[in-house]
């Protein structure tokens, strides 16, 4: 699958003309200083903000188009987001957090929990299932967020500053884990970051804002 | 002797004000069933009693008013619809003189909007077993009209519980609800029903004397002001009695 | 720096506290404790207490079931029409309760705008029924819950709701699995407030539902009637109401209103 965006992206006073596309297996790093609109791109791709004009397509499915007046709701787009502020649900334990998307898409509780447990193992958090998000470290929370997105097997993975919420000590561990996870990921990845080290470790292509 | 100067008014009975301070306004607390007749005579009374410059009325259930007076509510005259409520005030040493000046009997007041209007013939027809779904109100037991209703209901061989769907704290409240059409009927005073019928807002069903009861109306001066006594004297007087009986349907004491 | 309150502030605060505490304590002092058991077991007391508890709990639950969605709508919508709606929905809070009762009668009484159809077509007469008691209580109490919960929804973390959407949750799923749990403390507080307000409701219910012992007479109505008749019993019932209210507030403070 390939995702392509061509048009004007904006939020509030901010506006940018953009054109890029990403295919399966690729990791596109969108770089730029703070305030250049990197988060806006992620939110637009996910369907949380509409494009000001232009088209956003996933293969031949139009997710957002001003010309044909098409709009696909975020819950119907085959992408998953890891937000910069993680946004783990504080009132659920780690397992429920990871299983949330699967259950939202209709999967039965047992199967969803099974898959979630396996994913937690893959990110190195076996036996963390019953813990609460505010009882684990920043690095561990980041892994939960990753697991939560990956378990959905999305066609597009959107990572918004994946390492910024993590303390320096845990960052190197994650910087090793991420490429491993991404190499096993079949879809397209868009990674937003201001850190050159992330780009070098993960990206197959870059795009500067 | 200084008196209060009045306009070109004819002096009637004892209205030479004895001291300058005898002129003023009075507060009258009266049972709800007195509202129509007291309003009616107000103008006449003020005209013939120039020492009284104004009257402030507070109407309600005699029981509620009695409590207020006992608790210190400032009033000059108390007009109650039962001996019991007047005794409450008397026992608290609030009264100066007491007199009974009228009686009233009860009647069934029916809302013209009621779908049971033609089917209400006597007290027993007010119960759901005779007219299913009929909504009836009575005064609370502790109000004089409620005590009256109780004795009537018992004499008719039924009970408050069987008949009533709601209780009103005062007869005013009951009448309003019947006039509004929210109640089908209620047991109110004959004087009230007659008044409502004259305005075409209700119909009245007579309660036979075998089943009916009466209550007495008592008036008391609560202060020793001469203008309070003037009002009390008027209430006890023959002119007022004739208004009460011929115009408003009250009975002789 | 050690916190010190100025003496004059303390005096003012003391007067305020005394003004509120004194009448409540006076009831405690004047209650006929020796006859308490007797009076509490009287049928009229038990009836009034039972009706009060039943109706107020049902009213609180109804206020919650309908008030929470309303609070959600008011919190999430941008349209100006809805701000007008918010003002209307909060109005019963500042309205004299008896006016609320008159309004209910005008709408739902047998001659009322809606009531007349209920009566003519379906033989349903609402005034003077226990349903009417609950309706009057919901009318005055629901705004309290709506206000408390709306504030919470407004302040809630929309980021969490966005995240849930991106994971495939429909807006209604987001409401039930993310927004509602986050608003739980506010909902609990709103529920407690609505219940307390329902319990104390008098003006609207006596106007719309009337008062009949054993059927529609709630504790406050019983107190009102007893004041002129059996003052000591009215003290006892007042004490019951005060204790329940204080109990609710104390429980609220400890468990549900603890700040984060």
Angle CA(C197)–CA(C200)–CA(C204) in degrees, nearest 5? 90
* Interchain pair C163, A80: CB under 8 A: no
| Contact present, B86 and B206 (Cβ < 8 Å) | no
- Binned at pLDDT 50, 70 and 90, residue C255 comes out as low
Cα gap A163→A200, rounded to integer Å: 13
The per-residue pLDDT for range C60-89, each reduced to its tens digit, is 999 999 999 999 999 988 788 888 888 898
* Interchain pair A73, C173: CB under 8 A: no
Tokens 């006992």 correspond to B70
What number is the ipTM of this complex?
0.91
The per-residue pLDDT for range B130-187, each reduced to its tens digit, is 998 899 999 998 888 999 999 999 999 999 999 999 999 888 889 989 998 899 999 9
The full set of domain ranges for chain C reads 40-256
Encoded tokens for A18 = 């953009």
| Contact present, B169 and C222 (Cβ < 8 Å) | no
CB-CB: which of A74, A77, A83 is closest to C159?
A83
CB-CB: which of C105, C110, C210 is closest to B167?
C210
Q: Which residues of B touch C214 (CB under 8 A)?
A: 161
Please give the model's pTM, rounded to 2 decimal places. Answer: 0.79
Q: Which of A148-157, A188-197, B151-160 comes out lowest in average pLDDT?
A: A188-197
Is the predicted pLDDT of residue C6 greater than 80, yes or no? yes
Give the three-class secondary structure for A98. helix
Question: Which subunits sit against A, judged by 3+ Cβ pairs under 8 A?
Answer: C
Q: By CB neighbour count within 10 A (0-12 exposed, 13-18 middle, 19+ buried), where does A62 fall? A: middle
Q: At what angle do helices C97-108 and C130-155 cross, to 10 degrees?
A: 110
- Bridge partners for B27 per DSSP: B56
CA distance C64 to chain A (A): 21
Cα gap C163→C144, rounded to integer Å: 30
Domains contained in chain B, CATH given: 20-103+215-248 (3.40.190.10), 104-206 (3.40.190.10)
Q: Which residues of A touch C182 (CB under 8 A)?
A: 90-91
Encoded tokens for B40 = 């009616």
State CA B199 to chain mean position distance: 18
Encoded tokens for A167 = 């303390």
User: Would you state the pLDDT for residue B96?
Assistant: 72
Residue B132 has a CB neighbour count (10 Å cut-off) of 9
Q: Which residues of C touch B168 (CB under 8 A)?
A: 210
A50: contact with C, CB 8 A cutoff = no
CA distance C79 to chain A (A): 19
| Contact present, C210 and C216 (Cβ < 8 Å) | yes
Is the predicted pLDDT of residue B9 greater than 70, yes or no? no
Cα gap C119→C111, rounded to integer Å: 8
Q: Which backbone phi and psi does B202 adopt, to 5 degrees?
A: -160, 165
C-chain residue closest to B64, CA distance: C228
Tokens 């008397």 correspond to B90
| Contact present, A31 and A193 (Cβ < 8 Å) | yes
* Interchain pair B166, C123: CB under 8 A: no
Tokens 């991420």 correspond to A178
| Contact present, B165 and B182 (Cβ < 8 Å) | no
* Interchain pair A100, C173: CB under 8 A: no
Interface A–C counts its CB contacts (< 8 A) at 59
User: Would you state the pLDDT for residue C9?
Assistant: 92
Q: At what angle do helices C231-251 and C7-30 cross, to 10 degrees?
A: 130
* Interchain pair C159, A152: CB under 8 A: no
For the structural domain made of C40-256, what CATH number should be given?
Answer: 1.10.3720.10
| Contact present, C195 and A176 (Cβ < 8 Å) | no
Residue A209 has a CB neighbour count (10 Å cut-off) of 17
Q: Which backbone phi and psi does B74 adopt, to 5 degrees?
A: -75, 115
User: Would you state the pLDDT for residue B18?
Assistant: 60
CA distance A87 to chain C (A): 6
Report the pLDDT averaged over residues A33-58: 89
CA-wise closest residue to B171 among B243, B84, B109, B79: B109
A14: contact with C, CB 8 A cutoff = no
Please provide the DSSP assignment of chain C as one string: ------HHHHHHHHHHHHHHHHHHHHHHHHS-GGGHHHHHTSHHHHHHHHHHHHHHHHHHHHHHHHHHHHHHHHHH---HHHHHHHHHHHGGGTS-HHHHHHHHHHHHSTTSTTHHHHHHHH----TTSHHHHHHHHHHHHHHHHHHHHHHHHHHS-HHHHHHHHHTT--HHHHIIIIIHHHTHHHHHHHHHHHHHHHHT--HHHHHHT-B-TTTT--HHHHHHHHHTT-HHHHHHHHHHHHHHHHHHHHHIIIIIS---
The per-residue pLDDT for range C118-150, each reduced to its tens digit, is 998 998 889 989 999 999 999 999 999 999 999
C-chain residue closest to B66, CA distance: C228
The full set of domain ranges for chain A reads 1-78+155-170+182-209, 87-153
Give whole-number Cα distances, C244 to B25, C19, C195, C202, C238, in Å: 46, 20, 11, 16, 10
Q: Which backbone phi and psi does A205 adopt, to 5 degrees?
A: -155, 155
| Contact present, C141 and C59 (Cβ < 8 Å) | yes
The β-bridge relationship of strands B52-60 and B24-31 is: parallel
| Contact present, A42 and A29 (Cβ < 8 Å) | no
Give percent of chain B above pLDDT 70.
92
User: Would you state the pLDDT for residue A67?
Assistant: 86
The yes-or-no reply on A/B contact (3 CB pairs or more, < 8 Å) is no
CB-CB: which of C215, C216, C225 is closest to B169?
C225
3-state helix, strand, coil in chain B (%, to 5): 40, 25, 35
* Interchain pair C127, B181: CB under 8 A: no
Please name the residues in contact with A109: beta carbons below 8 A apart, sequence gap of 6 or more. Answer: A99, A103
User: Would you state the pLDDT for residue C1?
Assistant: 64
For the structural domain made of A1-78+155-170+182-209, what CATH number should be given?
Answer: 3.40.50.300
């Amino acid at each position: 699958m390939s995702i392509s965006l061509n048009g004007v992206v904006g939020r509030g006073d901010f506006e940018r003309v953009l054109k890029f596309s990403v295919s399966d297996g690729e990791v596109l790093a969108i770089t730029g200083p703070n305030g250049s609109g990197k988060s806006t791109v992620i939110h637009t791709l996910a369907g949380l903000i509409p494009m000001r004009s232009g088209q956003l397509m996933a293969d031949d499915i139009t997710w957002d188009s001003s010309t044909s007046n098409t709009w696909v709701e975020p819950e119907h787009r085959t992408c998953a987001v890891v937000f910069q502020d993680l946004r783990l649900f504080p009132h659920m334990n780690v397992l429920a957090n990871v299983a949330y998307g699967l259950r939202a898409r209709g999967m039965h509780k047992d199967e969803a929990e099974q898959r979630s447990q396996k994913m937690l193992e893959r990110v190195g958090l076996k036996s963390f299932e019953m813990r609460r998000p505010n009882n684990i470290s920043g690095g561990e929370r980041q892994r939960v967020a990753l697991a939560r997105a990956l378990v959905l097997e999305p066609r597009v993975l959107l990572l918004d500053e994946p390492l910024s919420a993590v303390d320096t000590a845990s960052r190197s561990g994650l910087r090793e884990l991420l490429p491993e996870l991404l190499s096993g990921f079949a879809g397209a990845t868009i990674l937003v970051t201001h850190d050159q080290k992330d780009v070098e470790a993960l990206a197959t292509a870059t795009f500067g804002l | 002797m200084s008196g209060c100067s009045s306009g070109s008014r004819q002096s009637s009975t004892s209205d030479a004000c004895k001291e300058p301070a005898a002129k003023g306004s009075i507060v009258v607390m009266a049972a709800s069933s007195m509202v129509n007749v007291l309003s009616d005579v107000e103008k006449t009374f003020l005209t013939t009693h120039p020492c009284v410059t104004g009257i402030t009325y507070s109407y309600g259930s005699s029981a509620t008013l009695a409590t207020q007076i006992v608790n210190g509510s400032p009033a000059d005259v108390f007009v109650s619809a039962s001996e019991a409520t007047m005794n409450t005030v008397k026992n608290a040493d609030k009264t100066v003189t007491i007199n009974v000046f009228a009686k009233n009997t009860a009647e069934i007041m029916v809302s013209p909007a009621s779908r049971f209007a033609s089917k209400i013939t006597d007290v027993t027809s007010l119960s759901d077993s005779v007219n299913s779904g009929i909504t009836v109100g009575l005064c609370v037991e502790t109000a004089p009209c409620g005590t009256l209703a109780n004795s009537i209901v018992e004499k008719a061989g039924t009970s408050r519980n069987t008949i009533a769907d709601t209780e009103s704290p005062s007869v005013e409240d009951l009448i309003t609800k019947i006039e509004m059409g929210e109640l089908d009927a209620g047991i109110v005073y004959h004087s009230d029903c007659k008044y409502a019928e004259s305005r075409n807002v209700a119909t009245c069903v007579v309660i036979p004397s075998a089943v009916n009861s009466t209550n007495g109306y008592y008036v008391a001066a609560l202060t020793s002001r001469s203008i309070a006594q003037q009002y009390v004297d008027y209430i006890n007087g023959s002119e007022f009695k004739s208004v009460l009986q011929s115009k408003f349907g009250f009975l002789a004491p | 720096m050690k916190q010190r309150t100025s003496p004059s502030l303390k005096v003012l605060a003391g007067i305020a506290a005394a003004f509120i505490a004194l009448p409540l304590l006076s009831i405690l002092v004047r209650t006929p404790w020796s006859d308490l058991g007797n009076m509490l077991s009287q049928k009229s007391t038990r009836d009034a207490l039972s009706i009060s508890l039943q109706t107020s709990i049902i009213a609180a639950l109804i206020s919650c079931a309908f008030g929470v969605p309303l609070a959600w709508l008011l919190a999430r919508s941008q349209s100006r029409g809805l701000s007008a709606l918010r003002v209307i929905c909060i109005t019963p809070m500042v309205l004299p309760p008896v006016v609320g009762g008159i309004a209910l009668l005008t709408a739902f009484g047998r001659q009322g705008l809606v009531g007349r159809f209920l009566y003519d077509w379906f033989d349903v007469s609402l005034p003077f029924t226990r349903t009417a008691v609950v309706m009057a209580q919901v009318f005055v109490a629901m705004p309290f819950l709506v206000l408390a919960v709306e504030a919470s929804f407004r302040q809630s973390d929309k980021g969490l709701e966005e995240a849930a959407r991106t994971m495939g949750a429909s807006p209604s799923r987001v409401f039930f699995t993310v927004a509602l749990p986050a608003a739980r403390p506010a909902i609990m507080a709103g529920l407690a407030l609505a219940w307390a307000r329902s319990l104390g409701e008098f003006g609207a219910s006596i106007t719309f539902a009337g008062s009949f012992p054993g059927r529609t007479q709630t504790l406050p109505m019983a107190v009102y009637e007893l004041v002129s008749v059996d003052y000591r019993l009215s003290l006892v019932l007042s004490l019951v109401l005060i204790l329940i209210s204080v109990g609710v507030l104390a429980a609220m403070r400890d468990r549900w209103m603890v700040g984060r």
